[in-house]
């Protein structure tokens, strides 16, 4: 249970199920299709009724569901793991109560041997939750209730030794999904304003070019432009306004599935190069369902057979293929870097 093929994590943990659409990156959400498939099985009450069919495709209904049977799972895993929190939902979806988030954070606090990777498209709520007065006390109270449930004095001592009165939790990485420049401009400034041991982005599905050192913002700490990888900001005249938190990790990848949209190589290459210049960890997850083909455009335009099985985008030709066939090498290299956690 919880095993995954997601390249940047070891385990998925889904104490919550269900979500809603918020931006173009959600259009072909793999979790939405998977929840629909599972929800039609008699033995999968967890996902039943969380999707409906619209124009022949499953779509989230907006309902979210806490699955108590999965809530304490990380406390059973002794071997340290990287754990993706809610691969089938969003911890900060608006149907998830603060009390439920407290309980999830409490489990993460009680399992310091694991690294928990949280990803959201709702950064405002994540920031407000983490920065809220009394958040630490609420999490501590929830943790004590969990300890009573599992009868583990060892867990209580681990919490007090590593996490008491600490926010953010040192083993929790907070991130946002960024599919294009607009979503980068909207979400990254809020992420950088959120206390976190590690701040990261998942640029998947990558639907357009993203300049992480040219983030336009609405007066973030007096700045109009953020250099999210370099860690500084500029005002409307281009003058530096001082240091700001920076991103620690960038994951990028293309979309997979029958209706996947292609990712141009230049978009992924740009993120890789931006990260290399700034010394920020970069992981290239996948090409997805479309592989870029190095065939001269003139030859493809003249060959109807070739032209009929692929697509053109910005002078680049793509062929449809399986995720396994397209692979995850970028310019002949696999990028599997991870961030270093700040002490």
Give the pLDDT of residue 162: 45
- Strands 65-66 and 16-17 come out as antiparallel
Query: Exposure string (b/e) for 232-259, b if CB count within 10 Å is 16 or more?
Result: bbbeeeeeebeebebbbbbbbbbbbeee
Query: Considering the domain boundaries, does residue 68 fall inside one?
Result: yes
304, pLDDT greater than 50? no
2 located within any domain: no
Q: Are 51 and 30 in contact (CB under 8 A)?
A: no
In the chain, the number of structural domains is 1
For the chain, what's the residue count? 343
pTM of the model: 0.91
Residue 82: which of 157, 136, 27, 2 has the closest Cα?
2
In a domain, 49, yes or no: yes
For residue 270, what pLDDT is reported? 98
Position 152 confidence tier, pLDDT thresholds 50, 70, 90: very low
Is 157 a domain residue?
yes
**Using CA atoms, how far apart are residues 10 and 8, in angstroms rounded to an integer?**
7
Say if 198 falls within a structural domain: yes
Question: How much is the pLDDT for 243?
Answer: 86
What burial class does residue 14 get, using C-beta atoms within 10 Å of its C-beta: 0-12 exposed, 13-18 middle, 19+ buried? buried
Residue 153 lies in a domain: yes
When pLDDT is averaged across residues 192-207 and rounded to a whole number, the result is 96
**Average pLDDT, rounded, for the chain:** 88
Quickly state the pLDDT bin for 310 (edges 50, 70, 90): confident
Domain span at residue 322 reads: 11-334
On whether the CB atoms of residues 228 and 247 are closer than 8 A, the answer is yes
Q: What is the mean pLDDT of residues 282-304?
A: 77
Q: At 267, is the pLDDT very low, low, confident or very high (cuts 50, 70, 90)?
A: very high
Residue 298 binned pLDDT confidence (cut-offs 50, 70, 90):
low
Distance CA 49, CA 60 (A): 9
The 10 Å CB-count burial string (b at 16+, else e) for 174-202 is: bbbbbbbbebbbbbbbbbbbbebbbbbbb
Element (H, E) at 140: helix 135-150
Q: Does 339 reside within a domain?
A: no
The CA R_g of the chain, rounded to the nearest whole Å, is 21
User: Is 48 in a helix, a strand, or coil?
Assistant: coil
Instruction: Pick the range with the lowest mean pLDDT from 199-213, 263-277, 303-317.
Output: 303-317
For position 135, what pLDDT does the model report? 86
Measured CA to CA, the distance from residue 314 to residue 215 in angstroms comes to 23
Whether 115 is covered by a domain: the verdict is yes
- The arithmetic mean of pLDDT across residues 134-149, rounded, is 80
pLDDT at residue 144 is higher than 50? yes
């Amino acid at each position: 249970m919880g095993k995954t093929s997601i390249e940047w994590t070891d385990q998925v943990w889904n104490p919550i199920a269900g979500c809603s659409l918020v931006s173009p990156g959600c259009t072909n959400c793999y979790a939405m299709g998977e929840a629909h498939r599972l929800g039609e099985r008699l033995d999968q009450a967890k996902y039943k009724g969380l999707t409906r069919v619209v124009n022949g495709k499953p779509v989230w209904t907006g309902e979210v569901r806490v699955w108590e049977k999965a809530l304490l799972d990380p406390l059973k895993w002794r071997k340290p793991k990287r754990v993706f929190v809610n691969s089938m939902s969003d911890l900060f979806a608006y149907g998830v109560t603060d009390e439920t988030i407290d309980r999830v954070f409490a489990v993460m606090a009680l399992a310091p041997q694991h690294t928990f990777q949280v990803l959201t498209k709702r950064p405002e709520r994540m920031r407000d939750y983490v920065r809220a007065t009394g958040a630490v006390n609420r999490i501590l109270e929830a943790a004590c209730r969990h300890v009573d449930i599992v009868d583990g004095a060892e867990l209580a001592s681990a919490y007090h030794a590593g996490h008491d009165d600490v926010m953010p939790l040192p083993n929790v990485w907070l991130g946002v999904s960024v599919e294009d420049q607009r979503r980068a401009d909207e979400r990254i400034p809020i992420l950088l304003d959120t206390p976190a041991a590690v701040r990261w982005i998942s640029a998947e599905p990558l639907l357009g070019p993203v300049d992480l050192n040219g983030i336009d913002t609405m007066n973030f700490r007096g700045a109009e432009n953020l250099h999210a990888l370099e860690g500084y900001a500029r005002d409307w005249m281009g003058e530096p306004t001082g240091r700001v938190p920076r991103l620690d990790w960038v994951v990028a990848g293309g979309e997979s599935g029958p209706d996947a949209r292609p990712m141009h190589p230049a978009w992924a290459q740009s993120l890789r190069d931006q990260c290399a210049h700034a010394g920020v960890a970069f992981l290239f997850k996948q090409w997805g369902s479309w592989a870029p083909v190095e065939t001269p455009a003139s030859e493809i335009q003249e060959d109807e057979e070739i032209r009929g099985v692929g697509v053109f985008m910005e002078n680049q030709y793509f062929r449809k293929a399986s995720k396994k066939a397209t692979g995850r090498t970028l310019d002949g290299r696999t990028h599997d870097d991870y961030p270093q956690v700040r002490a």
